[in-house]
Every structure is written in C-alpha cells, then in structure tokens.
Amino acid sequence: MAPSLLRPPAVAVTAALLLTGSVLVATPGTAGAAPPVTGAQIGVRAHAEAESLQCSPMGNLGTDEVHHYPVPLDQPTLARSDSFAGEFNNIVTSGDETTVDGAITGHARISTAGGALREVRFEVADEMAMDAPPSTSCGVSQEVYADLVVGLDLPRGGFLTLDLTNAGAGRVTTTVRTGGATRATLDSQLPSDHRRTRVHLPAGKHQLVATVRQQHAAVDGDLDASGTAVVTASFVEGGLAAGPARGRGTSFVGLPATRDCAGGAVTPTFRRPARKVAKATFFVNGAQRRTVRNPRPNRTVRLRGLAAAQPVTIRAVLRLDPPRKGKKGRTRTVTRSYTACSA
C-alpha cells in the first residue's frame, strides 16, 4: 500500500468544528429551543495511485482529499458518491499495466423528535476492482472511504444504542466521544458481522463519528469485490416511557410519559371514571408500593424512592365497585415501563 494513501482523512478537524457549533445545520423544532445536533457532515473519497514514478496514470483516478457535505436534520436521506477508473502504464517495462476502478456511495439521515435526538443512520455501498500482472513494479494501491461526523448538544441525558452491520464493506468503525474521552466504540473488519453497544450520555456536547474504508494493493493480487455497511445510533432520553401504557385500566389511571428523574418518582393520576374504583394498588417492579381506596378524579399518587440507574415498570391493579350488592367487582390493570435516568 502506498504510504500517502493511508494518510488519515481530516475527520478530527471536521469533528471539532461540529462539536463546537462552528458548522450549523438548520432544523425545524420548537421556537427558541437549540437543536440537539450542532452540525453534521458526510464525506466521501475514492482514489488510486502508483508508488513508482515510472508508472504513468491514465483516466480519472480521484484525489486523496475527502469531500464533505452538510447533512440537514429531519430531511430525506442525503446521498453522496465518489469514484475512480483508469490504469497505470509502466513506461519502462512493456506489458506492466494495472487497471483499477472503484466507487463508494454514502447515505445519511438524522432525525429528531420534540427537540431530542431520535436516530442517526449511515449506509454505505462500495466496490473496487484491480487487474495487475503478477510481476508489476508499479506498486498500485487504491482506496474508497466514507465518513459521517455528527456534533451533539443534548438538552437532556439518555441512552444511545449503536448498531453496526458489515457485509464485506472493509473496515467499519463508529465512535462516541465526550471531549477527549471515548465513551463507546465499535470496530469491524469481518465480511459478515453485526455488533451492538449501549452507552449513557449526560446532557451536553458529544460527537459521533462513523467511518467505512476499503483498501487494496497490487501486491495482494487481483480484486473484484463489493460490500455494504450500516451504522445506526438510536437515542432515548433517560426516564422516558419505553412505550404507551397498556391494559384496560388506562381509562381509570393515567401513567405519565416520563418519570421524574430529579425527584426519583413517578406520579400516576386518576381520571374521571376513577369514581368507579373501589381500591387501587400500585406496584413498582413487581413490589407493592401504595394502596388507595375510593379515589377521586384528578388525585395523584406519587411513587417515590426510584433508583435512578434502574429501569422501572409501574403497574396499577384496580378493583372496581360491584355492579350490585353481593356481586364481586371487576379488576382492571394498567402498566407502563420507563428507561433508567442514569448509568
């Protein structure tokens, strides 16, 4: 591999600009609220070169510079491509000809909801081919490369789940950093691989970097290969309900969309039909916590002492008034689960 082809692209510079907010991307959202993404850029590069000066290049062989493009938020997927195709002819040795071609396309999409980060998605497809005589002295090397750099400024902490799928795309990496510290990383060079990790991110500035790189040199023989890679980063704010409340008791008791992380509590509220409830028993992670008899509409029940680092499931068992004397009242339940507030 030619040394110059291995020169790292300027990802660090781009990441620093995005992290500090020097590169901004407009986003629709709540008026006056800062977006959770300070900026994002997708970069692509396709390049081939010869180590020997006696080998003359012909065709479009690309450059060793990464071309970066801003990625808007909450917009359709942005696609950017780069490619090369040509040959290197040894002007001294007859018959020493190496043909090359390669292409890479990166797709990026960043979605938010309610002022919070929802998902970052990065898809890459690449292909390369090389035909060189076994005794070539040109030292031809080629590379296709793509990256996505996202600067984050989270108004509230939460959990980021990284998923990486590599289907023969080369080396695929994704890293989350806070300042100079690495919080999480995935790295794959296997032709068929899937990896996942989950990390807690506090409120504040972070950066997400994903890269895909495929390299080949003539000394490694001929090549005809293609592959794909997908990297996703899904974010859920701490204390958020993992889904809607479930059960036939939802008309009697409302379980909130978020738990109170600062107060270590969840506060259910009785609704208007609660006049029909004779007794309500509340459970936290399966353990009985509170019992309320003959509740009235709009009454709240504060379930305290919830551990910040643990997810929580709240379940209310409601025994309704009997339809008439001597009959047993029916039972209704409502359940809702919440993510942890911290790591």
| Spatial distance between the Cα atoms of 188 and 193, rounded to a whole number of angstroms | 7
Give me the mean pLDDT over the 71-88 stretch: 97
pLDDT above 60 (res 213): yes
- Tell if the pTM clears 0.85, that is, is over it: no
User: Domain-by-domain residue ranges, the chain?
Assistant: 3-237, 253-338
pLDDT above 50 (res 83): yes
3-class DSSP state for residue 307? coil
Q: Over pLDDT 90: what percentage of the chain?
A: 83
Burial of 300 (0-12, 13-18, 19+ CB in 10 A): exposed
Bridge partners (DSSP) of residue 166 are 193, 229
**Residue keyed to tokens 């999480």:** 184
| Spatial distance between the Cα atoms of 109 and 27, rounded to a whole number of angstroms | 13
Question: How much is the CA Rg of the chain, to the nearest whole Å?
Answer: 28
For residue 303, what is the DSSP state?
B
- Please check whether residue 165 is in contact with residue 193, taking contact to mean a CB–CB distance below 8 angstroms: yes
Output the CA angle 85-88-90, nearest 5 degrees: 170
Give me the mean pLDDT over the 173-183 stretch: 96
| Spatial distance between the Cα atoms of 55 and 92, rounded to a whole number of angstroms | 8
- pLDDT for res 84: 97
State CA 174 to chain mean position distance: 9
Give me the mean pLDDT over the 120-127 stretch: 98
26 CB neighbour count, 10 Å cutoff: 10
pLDDT above 70 (res 30): no
Per residue in 300-313, pLDDT (tens digit) is: 999 999 999 999 99
Reported confidence tier of residue 235, pLDDT bands at 50, 70, 90: very high
- For 163-221, give the DSSP string: EEEEEB-SEEEEEEEETTEEEEEEEE-SSSEEEEEEEEE-SEEEEEEEEEEEEEEGGG-
| Spatial distance between the Cα atoms of 5 and 120, rounded to a whole number of angstroms | 29
- pLDDT for res 211: 98
- Please check whether residue 143 is in contact with residue 47, taking contact to mean a CB–CB distance below 8 angstroms: yes
Give me the mean pLDDT over the 104-122 stretch: 96
Which stretch of DSSP H or E encloses residue 11?
helix 11-20
Please provide residue 165's backbone torsions phi and psi, each rounded to the nearest 5 degrees.
Answer: -125, 125
Name the CATH superfamily, with its identifier, for domain 253-338: Immunoglobulins (2.60.40.10)
Reported confidence tier of residue 175, pLDDT bands at 50, 70, 90: very high
Contacts of 325 (CB under 8 A, 6+ apart): none
- pLDDT for res 327: 77
- Please check whether residue 199 is in contact with residue 176, taking contact to mean a CB–CB distance below 8 angstroms: yes
pLDDT above 60 (res 28): no
Reported confidence tier of residue 322, pLDDT bands at 50, 70, 90: confident
Largest CA distance in the chain: 107
pLDDT above 80 (res 326): no
- pLDDT for res 1: 37
Contacts of 53 (CB under 8 A, 6+ apart): none
Q: What is the mean pLDDT of the chain?
A: 90
Q: Over pLDDT 70: what percentage of the chain?
A: 90
Instruction: Output the six-digit token pair for 291.
Output: 């019992």
